[in-house]
């Protein structure tokens, strides 16, 4: 069952990228995080939603100021479950011929004939501009690279010969155990910390709680 928290993006509902926060992951991680000294509710609970996180911790009878935030939210290096993931949707695909460029400034030109998908999710939702030409997304269990510059609300993904349906879910980052790109790939590509990334994504994208 899914509940919706206040939207942080202006794109239309149903198409806008969504930051999913997992209630089960947060509950599972919480006992492992005991003994830290972070204020885990700061920065809107690091983008996870301070009111929601506080309610979960209250149910578990845990002090929000005596926990390790990296472990609680499952950030890289903690070996805990990632609580937040970012999902977009494929808006459609088109052919890209050898030598043709994509997005602003044509920072990527196709080395051979291929197909690309336009995907919801851009820098307005926390998809950092420097991720273009640097990281992959997961669509239908396969990895595909973001190519060209990330735009405000969309980015372009080289899908090759994959048959991508309009509306297909696109995972920007999530649980590596499920084959999703990891948040660590974003930290390596951008130089941002994991905390900065999840905070930016969580407050900019539409955020939803899932079981």
**Cβ(88)–Cβ(120) below 8 Å:** yes
pLDDT at res. 18: 96
Q: How many CB atoms lie within 10 A of CB 211?
A: 8
Find the distance separating the first CA and the last CA of the chain, reported in whole Å: 6
- What ranges do the domains of the chain cover? 84-210
What integer pLDDT is reported at residue 14 of this predicted model? 57
Give CA–CA dist 116/50, Å, rounded.
Answer: 37
Beta-bridge partner residues of 89: 169
* Residues of the chain scoring pLDDT < 50: 1-13
Distance CA 144, CA 138 (A): 6
Residue 4 has a pLDDT of 34
Structure tokens at 19: 């930051």
> CA 128, 107, 164: angle at the middle one, nearest 5?
70
**CATH architecture entry for 84-210:** Beta Barrel (2.40)
Please report the pLDDT score of residue 16 as a whole number.
Answer: 83
Cβ contacts of 92 within 8 Å, gap of 6 or more: 117, 118, 166
Q: From the CB of residue 75, how many other CB atoms can be counted at a distance below 10 Å? A: 23
Given a contact cutoff of 8 angstroms between Cβ atoms, the answer to whether 73 and 83 are in contact is yes
Query: Could you give the maximum distance between any two Cα atoms of the chain, in Å?
Result: 59
Q: What is the pTM of this model?
A: 0.90
């Amino acid at each position: 069952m899914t509940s919706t928290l206040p939207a942080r993006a202006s794109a239309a509902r149903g198409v806008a990228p969504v930051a999913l926060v997992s209630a089960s992951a947060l509950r599972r991680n919480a006992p492992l995080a005991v003994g830290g000294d972070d204020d885990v509710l700061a920065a809107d609970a690091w983008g996870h939603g301070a009111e929601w996180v506080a309610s979960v911790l209250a149910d578990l009878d845990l002090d929000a100021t005596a926990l390790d935030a990296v472990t609680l939210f499952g950030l890289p290096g903690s070996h805990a479950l990632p609580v937040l993931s970012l999902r977009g949707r494929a808006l459609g695909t088109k052919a890209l011929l050898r030598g043709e460029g994509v997005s602003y400034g044509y920072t990527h030109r196709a080395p051979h004939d291929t197909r690309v998908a336009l995907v919801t999710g851009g820098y307005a939702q926390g998809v950092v501009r420097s991720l273009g030409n640097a990281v992959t997304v997961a669509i239908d269990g396969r990895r595909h690279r973001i190519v060209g510059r990330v735009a405000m609300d969309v980015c372009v993904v080289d899908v090759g010969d994959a048959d991508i349906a309009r509306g297909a879910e696109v995972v920007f980052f999530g649980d590596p155990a499920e084959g999703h790109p990891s948040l660590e790939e974003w930290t390596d590509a951008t130089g941002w910390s994991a905390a900065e990334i999840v905070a930016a994504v969580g407050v900019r994208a539409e955020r939803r709680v899932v079981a």
